[in-house]
Amino acid sequence: MRGGSGTLASVCALSGGIAALAIACGARTELGAPIPGDAGHDADAAEDALDDLPNIDEFVDAPTPTDCPDAGATLIYVISSENGLFSFYPPTLAFTKIGNITCPDAQGTPYSMAVNRLGIAYSVFTDGTLWQIDTANADCVPTPYVPSPQGTPFFNFGMGYAGDQTSESLYVADANFNVNSLGLATIDTKLFQRSFIADFQPELPRCELTGTGDGRLFAFCLFTSGSGSEIAEIDRKTAKVIAVNQLAVGESNDAFAYAFWGGEFWIFSGPGGSTTVTEYNPGTKSETAVATFGQTIVGAGVSTCAPQ
């Protein structure tokens, strides 16, 4: 069994690091009363099952999707609990501010974010609403997506795109505080309807998602107590967990987000007020803290055109 009562989580932002004031966090913190666990969602049993899975394979060169611009120019976009939208370019570790988002009549703050090949971002807020954000200028408009009622599955979720040569889909992972996730789904961003895929097998806790242009989907999760985290590869058709790598980065109450770029995972985590950027190479299993940032990053998104 992993150290602590390990589970996978997704961005959990705490205001000023005070757990009692937990606020918006992209697949990160609780909002209101958590959904009670049950015998079918035993975190320790899920951890034991995950321990038996193989490591994530190294990434190899894959064909670039046909509708992509130059992959090397692709940026990671991040959003903070302070409503800031920024780009991040891994080769230089540079953050560039795009602007402050102002979503009309929004009742919550950013919780998670994903970005498609056209540079359009979608961000779920702490009140369950889904917003469309322009990564060129931080303009924010509502979508017709109807949130799940608070206290039901998929009220909040981690999110990320995964695709192949011709298309990509927005995947979302149910997120609840300190209990296992209630599964994987997709959201159609034309009709703004959610379609359930399946429960994770084995179970996972709260997860953030990222994907690649060759169709691979990954979840990054913090353990529910203590320190440490995991990255799991997910079969996007069945929600089956097919590989897992264990990491040292992260504390259970951190805010966090992550994205895939250039064959590596870029993890943004911190207790609130600032963020540490960690570069993780799944081939060498090396974790390197490479930068810090002065806001609480709760969501990250990258096009599946990003370099493999």
Residue 185 lies in a domain: yes
Residue 308 lies in a domain: no
The total of structural domains in the chain comes to 1
**Amino acid type, 202:** P
- Ramachandran sector of residue 154 (left: φ over 0; alpha: ψ -120 to 50; beta: rest): left
Are the beta carbons of 296 and 254 closer than 8 angstroms? no
pTM above 0.85, yes or no: no
Residue 5 lies in a domain: no
| Residue 160, domain extent | 13-28+72-302
**Amino acid type, 165:** Q
Length of the chain: 308
Residue 58 lies in a domain: no
State yes or no: pLDDT of 258 exceeds 90: yes
- At 68, list the tokens: 């992509």
- Cα angle 224, 11, 246 (rounded to 5 degrees) comes to 55
pLDDT digit string, tens, across residues 114-172: 999 888 999 999 999 999 999 999 999 999 999 999 999 999 999 999 987 778 899 99
Can you give the CATH number for the domain in which 119 is found?
2.115.10
Q: Which of 278, 280, 286, 276 is nearest to 263 (CA)?
A: 280
Residue 40 lies in a domain: no
Residue position matching structure tokens 């039901």: 152
Residue 4 lies in a domain: no
Residue 105 lies in a domain: yes
Burial class (CB in 10 A: 0-12, 13-18, 19+), 294: exposed
pLDDT digit string, tens, across residues 204-242: 888 899 998 788 999 999 887 889 999 999 999 999 999
pLDDT digit string, tens, across residues 43-98: 565 566 666 677 887 555 555 565 676 555 689 999 999 999 999 999 999 999 99
Residue 62 lies in a domain: no
State yes or no: pLDDT of 1 exceeds 80: no
- In sign, the C-alpha dihedral spanning 180, 164, 167, 303 is positive
pLDDT digit string, tens, across residues 284-305: 999 999 999 999 999 999 998 8
